[in-house]
Amino acid sequence: MPWSLTIGRLGETAIRIHVTFLLFLVWIWAAYYRSGGASAAWEGVLFVALLFACVLLHELGHVFAARHYGVKTPDITLWPFGGIANLERIPEKPSQELVVAIAGPLVNVVIALVLLVILSATLDGTDLTADNLAKIEDPRTSILVKLAGANIFLVVFNLIPAFPMDGGRVLRALLAMNMGHAKATATAASIGQGLAIGMGLLGIFTNPMLMIIGVFVFLAASGEAGQVQLKEASRGLLVSDAMITHFETLGPQSTVDDAADALIRSTQKEFPVVDGAGHLRGVLTRDAMIRAMKDQGPQTAVIEVMQADVPVVEARSKLDAALKLITSAQAPAVGVVDVSGKLVGLLTPENVGELMMLHAARPERGAHPFGRGRAG
């Protein structure tokens, strides 16, 4: 991921901070400096740094639980809005997903308990109530009070039963124990969105902050539910089930003029350039074609203006892995090859979108579009 710095490594997991997080620390320093001078500024930065250490431990909770089930995590990135552990996959057994989801908030429960034990020792004798804690004047102790409060907030916030919060996954896992994975996802997403609307309405009458969180949760929940549906649709399918097989190709000798003819003849927007042995050399997009036509003229060789490093997958490989390639690679399409390396198909974001539409239109929602695999 660009714009993030690796600050450490734990086993196979790289720990990264995003550049915006460093800017956020600078902003915190400046904001505290203006109101309370240099000592307040450093205290503010220390608090945020400690808070994010707790967020990192939360993510490590997910990572270690996932590792227990054989799921690797290549990296954790800290953003100003929190941490994201990039798990290779979410375990599909509901009981395992439940454990992985709950492991993060559980870490914050433990941190909060440890901090409260330390605080009750410093208060010795006095009751551990919010009032008494608020009276603490020693700055070193009061930072612990704030940190304990923040960890309790993290537990409550993360357990909101809506995607992409951990609570949404907990809810989905619990539902999936009684219904199919796809139906559980759809139900959990609707519950999450209903909750987000409720939060937004409550926010109008109480705290506007709640309204903002409600909007955020609603949008995030829709996005996450869509992604989960895409994964559901592709599960159990092979690349060959979803690829385009009828398409025009260009040869290494073709010119932009030839490509323009192919553009008119077909409805394609991406044209694979294939050599005599049937191997994919690159892809020419409609935009690149038009640009070349204007700037370099119709006699330009397509090989000069095509995008050369286009990823390829084997037709018999799993579709979900190929979809990851489409979203992560900056390529207009993914080439599909047979065992001998010959181009036999194409995957484009557009035809993946069509696959999704088909999936959604099927009467038995959750079943796979081509009947393969498990019905939800």
AA letter at 7? I
| Interface map 59-98 toward Zn ion (x if CB under 5 A) | ----------------------------------------
Question: Residue 233 contacts by C-beta under 8 Å, 6 or more apart in sequence?
Answer: 355, 356, 359, 368, 369
Of 104 and 272, nearer to Zn ion (C-beta) is 104
Give the integer Cα–Cα distance in Å for 364 and 16.
42
* Element of type H or E holding 281: strand 280-285
State the nearest-atom distance from the C-beta of 63 to Zn ion, in Å. 10
Sole window of 102-110, 170-178, 219-227, 327-335 interacting with Zn ion (rule: CB under 5 A): 102-110
Sole window of 20-28, 63-71, 100-108, 351-359 interacting with Zn ion (rule: CB under 5 A): 100-108
State the nearest-atom distance from the C-beta of 158 to Zn ion, in Å. 5
Of positions 44, 91, 104, 168, contacts Zn ion by CB under 5 A: 104
Structure tokens, 156: 């409550």
| Interface map 146-175 toward Zn ion (x if CB under 5 A) | --------------------x---------
Of 166 and 270, nearer to Zn ion (C-beta) is 166
Of 147 and 262, nearer to Zn ion (C-beta) is 147
Burial of 211 (0-12, 13-18, 19+ CB in 10 A): middle
Alpha helices in the chain (DSSP H): 19-68, 94-122, 130-134, 139-158, 166-176, 181-205, 208-234, 239-242, 256-265, 286-295, 302-305, 319-328, 349-361
What value does the CA radius of gyration of the chain take, rounded to a whole number of Å? 26
Residues 10-69 that bind Zn ion (CB under 5 A): none
State the nearest-atom distance from the C-beta of 157 to Zn ion, in Å. 10
What's the start-to-end Cα distance of the chain, in Å? 34
Of 77 and 234, nearer to Zn ion (C-beta) is 77
State the nearest-atom distance from the C-beta of 191 to Zn ion, in Å. 18
State the nearest-atom distance from the C-beta of 154 to Zn ion, in Å. 9
Of 166 and 232, nearer to Zn ion (C-beta) is 166
The answer to whether residues 183 and 228 touch, using CB atoms and an 8 Å cutoff, is no
Q: Which residue has the tokens 């490093």?
A: 309
Structure tokens, 357: 């539409």
Of 97 and 166, nearer to Zn ion (C-beta) is 166
Of 166 and 224, nearer to Zn ion (C-beta) is 166
Angle at 290 between CA 285 and CA 294, to 5 degrees: 145
State the nearest-atom distance from the C-beta of 104 to Zn ion, in Å. 3
| Closest residue to Zn ion in the complex (CB) | 104
State the nearest-atom distance from the C-beta of 103 to Zn ion, in Å. 8
Query: Phi then psi for 144, rounded to 5 degrees?
Result: -70, -35
Query: How many residues in the shown chain lie near Zn ion by CB under 5 A?
Result: 2
Positions in the binding site for Zn ion (CB under 5 A): 104, 166
